[in-house]
Each structure stands twice: as C-alpha cells, then as structure tokens.
Amino acid sequence: MVYSRAVITTLLLSAAVFALSACHRGGGSAEEKKSTQVAAKVNGDEVTVHQVNQAMSRAGNIPEAQQKQAQQQVLERLIDQQLLVQQAVAKKLDRDPRVLAAIDASRRQILSQAYLEQVMQTASKSTPDQVKEFYAQHPELFQDRRVYRFREMAIAAPADFHEKLKGELEKLDKQADKNKVMQDLAAWLTSLNIKFLTNVATQAAEQLPMELGPKVHQMKDGDLLLIPRGNAFVVTQLVQSQTAPLTAEQSGPYIEQYLSNRKRMDLSNEEMKRLREKAKVDYVGEFANRDKAAVAPPPAAEEKKSDAAATEDDDALKKGLQGLGKR
C-alpha cells in the first residue's frame, strides 16, 4: 500500500516546526545525537530513527507487513523536509518575524496540549456497571438499533423562514400519501424561489448525530424531522427502517472507550476551569472595556463539536459500532 504524499506531509507538519526551531538554536547537543540512532544524513544534518518513529506513530495502525514500506516513505519525506529547512535557514527565514511567531504559536499549542494530556491520563477506567448502564440508556444504539433510509432536503433560507416552513410541513404531514410529501415540499419551495438540494441516504443509528438518535428512534415510516442548520434547514423524512440489534458483549469495548474519552474531556474542562478561577487575568487596552461575561472562554479540550456530527469521542464509538454492524 502506498500512502499519499498529502497524508505523509500532514504527519510531518509539526516536525517541520521543530526542525526549523532546532536549526535556529544550533541543533541538539553532541551527547543527544550520540544517543539517537541515525536513519540518514542530509548534507551532514542527521535524520533520526526517533523522528521516523514519531511520524509513524501519527499514522495510526499500519499492518505489520507494510511497516517497512511506510517507514521508508516517511524517511524520504523527512529528507525532503530537511532539504527545505536547510534552504530556509540559508535564506535566514528562521529569523523572519512571521516564522518565529509561527514557531512560538506551535510551541505554545504543543506544550498546552501536553499538559492537558497529562491531566487526562488520570481518568479512571469505566466499571462493568457503568458500561451496562450506558448500554441500557441507549437502546437506539444497541438492543433496538436500526438502519434507516431517509429522504433529505437541505434548504437555504434565513432563520425567520422557520415558522413558515414549519407550518407548511405540518400541512404536508397530514396528507395521506406520504410518498408525495417531499415532492410537494419541493414544488412549494420552488414557487417561493427558495433554493434547496435533495438526497437519499441510508444510515445506521450510530451514524446519526448523538443528539438526534433518540428522536429518530421514535419516528415512524413517513414521519418528518426539521433541523435548523445555521442559515439553512434540513428536512428529513424516514422512508423505512430495519432492526439490526447489537448485544452487550459486542458493544462493550466501544462503550468503554467512549466513556473513557468522556471522562478525559471532563477532566480537561474541570482543570481549565480551576486554572481560570485561580489565575489573575488583567484585560488591557481595547479588551478591557468589552463585556467578558457575554463571551464564553474557548473550549479547553483538544476536540471540538461540529453541527454535522457529534464529538470525536462520539465518532470513536460510532466507528466501532459501524464495524460491529457489518459482522
């Protein structure tokens, strides 16, 4: 298997910052270099096995049979990177204020993340009772799991269109022929010159956003669901569903992982709250006169939510369950 240049380049981005930073500082000590196995020398500069292994660790699980090939590809990219770093230093880009600012920003991000990782490592392991409770609390994902077929329509409209759209859906929902609902909705939107896109999708319960799972689980064939999405709306009609349950034994490892990740996130947020309460923060200049109470602090954790999906923690559970569903 050949890994794309884009994937390998992504793995090396953080390494590039530190390679440039190391050149600016004059590199590591002779003792440090002696203690590290060398993979290649580029115009006298060393590329180490440690650098290769560090980049490999970000690639996820690579089959053992492909390890050597992947290592060689990573090494070649590190050599390319080192050549570029040497040119950047020769052009004195390592002294460019914008480059120095980028290096400092990356350093701050990596150090803050390292501290949060240390905090999150203290998260306790989930007990069998907690796993059992989670399984019981989410029947839509496990014992009553279903695979759904939807008709979907994304509608580009401002927020004040919500009530009008909601009223039209209530009328359409009462008609006897449910198969014509989306067709009639499309005709109505066209008459108002409202833009929309349609789609047909098949999704298992774990592929739905976590917050929508229970709602969809209660829907019957033909039912409609209206979901605001910023400056748009998504109208979803359930065409049909098919049961595909998962046992507690099948789901256990993925529930444990999900609960563990959730505990890690809670620890991260609690630590950030503690540090803010303890710190003395003085706002200066134009920021001093702003209403800080109306602005929530940015998320402390390394993962962020999006409108289209649950958190990455949720995704870890969903991906695992998707794999189980294919068995």
Give the DSSP per-residue string, 36-96. Answer: S-EEEEETTEEEEHHHHHHHHHTT----GGGHHHHHHHHHHHHHHHHHHHHHHHHTTGGG-
**Contact by Cβ (8 Å): 257, 316:** yes
Determine the pLDDT at residue 59.
78
Euclidean distance between CA atoms 111 and 100, whole angstroms = 16
DSSP 8-state symbol, 124: P
Q: Cβ-count burial of 227 within 10 angstroms (0-12 exposed, 13-18 middle, 19+ buried)? A: middle
Euclidean distance between CA atoms 125 and 262, whole angstroms = 11
Q: Which candidate, 98, 93, 11, 111, places its Cα nearest to that of 52?
A: 11
- Find the length of the chain: 327
Determine the pLDDT at residue 58.
82
**Contact by Cβ (8 Å): 11, 53:** no
Determine the pLDDT at residue 117.
94
Mapped onto helix, strand or coil, the DSSP state of residue 35 is: coil
Determine the pLDDT at residue 314.
53
DSSP 8-state symbol, 297: P
Determine the pLDDT at residue 326.
46
Q: Cβ-count burial of 322 within 10 angstroms (0-12 exposed, 13-18 middle, 19+ buried)? A: middle
**Contact by Cβ (8 Å): 22, 28:** yes
pTM of the model: 0.60
* Amino acid present at 215: K
**Contact by Cβ (8 Å): 71, 52:** yes
Determine the pLDDT at residue 64.
84
Over its length of 327 residues, how does the chain's per-residue pLDDT go in tens digits?
444 444 344 444 444 544 554 554 444 555 544 545 999 999 999 999 999 998 898 877 788 888 899 999 999 999 999 999 999 999 999 999 999 999 999 999 999 999 999 999 999 999 999 999 999 999 999 999 999 999 999 999 888 899 999 999 999 988 889 989 999 999 999 999 999 999 999 999 989 988 888 999 999 999 999 998 878 999 999 999 999 999 999 999 989 999 999 999 999 999 999 999 999 999 998 888 877 655 555 554 444 444 433 444 455 455 444 444 443
